[in-house]
Amino acid sequence: MTDTCIYEVLARATAVCFDVDSTLIRLEGIDRLAKVCGVGEEVEKITKTAMSGNMNFKEALGMRLNIIKPTLNKVKQLVEEDLSDIDNVLTPHVKELVDLLHSRGISVYVISGGFRRLIEPITNNLRIEKKNLYCNALLFNEAGEYEGFDLDQLTCQDGGKSLVMRDIKKKHEYVVMIGDGMTDLQASPPADAFIGFGGNVVRSRVKELSNWYVHDMQELIEAIELQRRTQTYSDSDEESHSPSSTSSASNLDDTQQKRLLAECD
């Protein structure tokens, strides 16, 4: 995909979906949970294999949780640690990017194989709506001991992100997925474009298959700002300001947009 194409897709997107681990945040949530529970190294090895796409997702998740056996107290401890150090937990420039998307009326979604109890405090901090968060749920008994995870969530299934994306696509015509892993890549299609993110970890296969690959969220901020400036210039050039000219729609007419998007294939 050329830069022009990705600008066009970003310009037309009414929704942008983010992965969480190593994308919205710097590290892998399950590895952090394992570390807090004293089994960090063992679990990290399985995560690396799973992230390379060499293991069934649900199997890898269950295997790691059975080693970690996280208690509710440990989960709460990790959330407290995260929130007290949120600027270091978040990937640099991600907050500015999410704010910019919101300010442009673009819906922001989160699709993660991680856990709601860990993710929701972070997405709350980013002012992402709860209803736009798709992720897994840990189950505890009354004593706060680990009892498994909710097997009904789409996000714990193999190809689960693709299934979630299919739902999101029913509400939005143009959707961009941003992530670092193979499971994120599986969401595009149905997503219209996939932006690989290598700011925290670079996965060579993901880099190779992405429509566009960035190492810094700032690159996306600049692309959106550039598109907006181009649009403003074009609008003032024509000495007309239609109400839709400041929306996420491109300044190009439909035929031009279709041609550019076709070039992206």
The one catalytic residue among 3, 19, 87, 150: 19
Taken in order 108, 128, 171, 20, is the CA torsion positive or negative? positive
* Cα–Cα separations (whole angstroms), residue 15 to 18, 52, 63, 162, 200: 10, 27, 33, 15, 23
State yes or no: is 253 an active-site residue.
Answer: no
Closest separation in Å from C-beta 153 to Mg ion: 17
Closest separation in Å from C-beta 150 to Mg ion: 20
Cβ closest to Mg ion, residue 161 vs residue 172:
161
Amino acid identity of residue 30, one-letter, is I
Closest separation in Å from C-beta 82 to Mg ion: 16
Tell me, rounded to whole angstroms, the distance of Cα 38 from its chain centroid.
28
The one catalytic residue among 3, 21, 253, 265: 21
Contacts with Mg ion by CB under 5 A lie at 19, 21-22, 180-181
> 10 Å Cβ neighbour count for 2?
12
The CB-nearest residue to Mg ion is 21
Buried b (16+ CB within 10 A) or exposed e, 73-87: ebbeebbeebeeeee
Q: What's the burial of 64, exposed, middle or buried (CB within 10 Å: 0-12/13-18/19+)?
A: buried
Cβ closest to Mg ion, residue 219 vs residue 235:
219
Cβ closest to Mg ion, residue 112 vs residue 251:
112
State yes or no: is 19 an active-site residue.
Answer: yes
Closest separation in Å from C-beta 163 to Mg ion: 17
Cβ closest to Mg ion, residue 26 vs residue 35:
26
Active centre residues (catalytic): 19, 21
